[in-house]
Every structure is written in C-alpha cells, then in structure tokens.
Amino acid sequence: MNNRAFTLIELLVVIAIIGILAGFIIVSMSGASDAANDSRRKADINQLAKAVMIWKTNNPDTLFPVDVDGCNIGDDCTDIFGSASVLRDPNGSYYTYTSVDGTDFSITSVLSNDNDYSFESSTGRYIESTPITTINGTCGTDNDTITLSTPINTCNTGIPTSVTTDSDTVLLMHMDGIDNGTVFSDQTGKTVTRYGDTKTVIGTKKFGSAAAYFDGSGDSLSLADSDDWDFGIGDVTIDLWFYPTVATATSGEDLRTLISTGNEGVSGHQGWNFTYGHHDSWGTGIRMGFGATDGTTWYGVVSDPFDLIINSWHHIAVVRTVGMETYYLDGQFISTHSFPQSILTSGGIPLNIGYQYAFNGIHWYYRGYLDDFRISKGVARWTSNFTPPNAQYYWWNWGCNGVNGGTNSTCGANKYQ
C-alpha cells in the first residue's frame, strides 16, 4: 500500500477548490434567501392592499388618508391597515403608504435588487420599477423639459429641493389644499388674500390635490399690486383651467371675470382684465374679452364666439405679442385681433382672481372652479394651436455645481414647466 502525504501545493489547490465550492453554495443560498425575502415582501404588499380595500369597503364615503411624501406603515401612518399593520420588511424596515389626493393610493417595498415593488390602486396592478438615482446630491442627469403630475412622481432628494418658477412666470397658483380649505399660495412667493367663501375642494379638480371654488357671490382671491402686473408693451400670456358651473345669459350683460386689475368704476384708474361671457355690445354668443384702460378710455378686444360646455374642464388662454391679442380654448385657436392699447399697467391696484369691479357699480364675479392659474410676463407661450398641458406646471430648481441650470450632462437641474 502506497501512502503519500499531500504536498503544500496540492493542499493549497484543495483548499482553493473547497473555497470555490463553498462560495457557490453561499451564493446559491444567498440567492435563495433573496428570493424568499422578495416573495414575502410581495405577499405582505398584497395583504396590506387588501386591508386598505377592506377599510374602504367599510368607509365608502371617506377618502383614503392623504400622505404625499409617504408614511411608514405601522409607525406614522393613519391606521387603516388593521392587523396587517404589524407586517414588516424581512430586514426590519417599514413598508410605505402614499396617497396624493385621497382617491388612489400606493403601497411600496424595496426588493433585494433595489427595485421598488408596489401596488397601485389606480390601476389595480402590482408593479416592479427601477427607482430614480441621486447624482452628486441632486436629482436628474440632464437638463430636460418634461411634464409630471406632481413632485411625488420624481426624485426630490438633494439640496436644494424647493419648487420655484421659471423666470417668465410671475404668477403660478396650483389651487392645491384640503377639502373646504381656506389657504391659497402662489409658487412665486406672493401672498394671496381670500375673500368671501372661496375655498379649495378635492372633489372637482383638474390637477394636484384640489381646485379653487368660487360661488359667484363675493368670492375672489387677491394679490397686492406689483410691477409683475405691469406688462408694458411686451409679450404676455395668461392661461388657466376653468370649470364653469352655470351657463351665461344670451342677452344683456352676463360677464364672468377670470382675472383683473384696476377699477373701472373710479375715474383715472388704469388696469386690465380677462373675462368671458355675453354682452350685447360684443355681439351674439359667448366670447372672451381682454381689455385695458389708460385712466380715460377703455380699450377692449373681444374674441369670436365659441361653444362652451358647462360642468367640464377647459383650458383657456390669451396671448399678447407684437400688438396682437390671440385667444385659445382647449388649445384651439379662436381668433386674433389688433390690440390698440400698447401699454398695459395695473394702475396700482391689486390683482383679483374671479372678480372685477366694473362700470355703474356692477361686480363681475366668476362662478365655478379654477385650477393651475399662470401669468407669464415677457413671453408668448403659444402662437398656434397646441396640446393643453396634461399636468401642473413646475420648475424644480435643483442647483448643480453652483448653477441652477446645471453645467454638464452628468449633473443638472431638470425643468418642469
């Protein structure tokens, strides 16, 4: 019998082979463990989604709790999950619940491959997606213009993450808020004062969490006089979404003011307004009107007549460029006209939304809902037919290398406008 001991080299080879085999076993076990953990995560998301739907069945008239930024289920979320609230990720972390407006919700976990796995009630589907990554402390990879419904749909980490507007926007009001809310804000930072029963409502809205409702009797929003309301001879665009709840009369005077400055009832006051409706002096049908006064004479430009469906959302816009006023409804050209008054000024009067004090003590109020109200100074946003925006306007001002607009293809500030 020939017995021979292992040489050192042979022993090292054996150890290496054992190490490789052990590595294969560990990787295999790790893969199996990851798969098992992911299966558990998916089962938990399913259970949590069912728990929320059971809660909704028992509370059919109650909206889902709103949490735009997302909350940790079983920690800081409103308890709508029942006994399922004890479920935790296999690594001990919490699952996330999100609802932007209370009509839909999502529940999310993070899989072993770092992808997000979520249930989306809006579609009733379970979705695996790759999360947006953070680069150099800011979000995004290129300067790019896209449209998103709300900031929750994009990355909002890094510094800074404040929402501001582009340089041409002097007013931007999303009309977001809680149901029957009384707080209104402007993305450019101007203070908004509420009058009457003007409120935010979540049941009838175009975008975001709410829209503003005006009952047509004493309701308006006001912003202090500003140089931003003095357009001079430059370009200007006013656009918004509106949802009229009553039809205008077909005879006499029945005008609805969307926005105005000045006071026609006081001699010498300058100002301008944007209205729609019927006035016998305008001709037949419903028309838009954009006018201004120099303190002595009123210069009005009226659109061609158009059809307007009440209790429905419409995008409306007036664009002034090179001395011409052009009107659009739902992105479609209505008419264009020469505008005789070259100087547009607020006359030192606050800006009013939903209200105009007109001649002979008449008050022209708007009745219905308004959403995503924007004034752009120094730019004609449209000069021909266009597709109306499908989401709120945003400018995300992520600084990058000291420059808000970004400096290269690997680090930049994305523009949502």
Rounded Cα distance between 360 and 265, Å, is 6
Phi, psi of 351 (to 5 degrees): -85, 130
In the chain, where the domains are located: 34-129, 166-392
User: In sequence order, what are the residues at sequence separation of 6 or more whose Cβ sits closer than 8 angstroms to the Cβ of residue 100?
Assistant: 66, 68, 149, 150, 152, 208, 209
Q: CA 403 → CA 93, 188, 337, 398, 400, distances in Å?
A: 37, 19, 41, 9, 5
Rounded Cα distance between 132 and 135, Å, is 10
In the chain, count H helices and then E strands. 1, 26
Rounded Cα distance between 73 and 70, Å, is 9
Contact status, residue 158 vs residue 137, Cβ threshold 8 Å:
yes
E strand or H helix at 198: none
Strand partners for 293: 271, 298
Q: Quote the tokens at residue 370.
A: 């308004």
DSSP 34-60: HHHHHHHHHHHHHHHHHHHHHHHHH-T
Q: Quote the tokens at residue 389.
A: 């925006």
Contact status, residue 113 vs residue 120, Cβ threshold 8 Å:
no
Q: What is the pLDDT of residue 150?
A: 34
Give the angle 365-366-372 at the CA atoms, nearest 5°. 135
Q: What is the pLDDT of residue 326?
A: 95
Q: CA 269 → CA 79, 296, 297, distances in Å?
A: 57, 8, 10
Out of 3.40.720.10, 1.10.287.130, 2.60.120.200, 3.40.50.2300, the CATH code matching 166-392 is: 2.60.120.200
DSSP 230-267: --BTS-EEEEEEEEESSPPPSSSEEEEEEEE-S-TTST
Q: Quote the tokens at residue 135.
A: 């680069």
Rounded Cα distance between 138 and 115, Å, is 20
Q: What is the pLDDT of residue 55?
A: 92
Q: Whole-model pTM?
A: 0.59
Number of alpha carbons in the 13 Å side-chain half-sphere of residue 401: 10
User: 10-residue block means of pLDDT along the chain (417 residues)?
Assistant: 56 58 52 85 92 90 89 92 92 92 91 90 83 41 34 36 61 93 90 96 92 95 91 90 92 88 60 89 91 76 93 96 92 91 71 81 88 93 90 56 36 38
User: In sequence order, what are the residues at sequence separation of 6 or more whose Cβ sits closer than 8 angstroms to the Cβ of residue 72?
Assistant: 94, 95, 96
Q: Quote the tokens at residue 33.
A: 């463990």
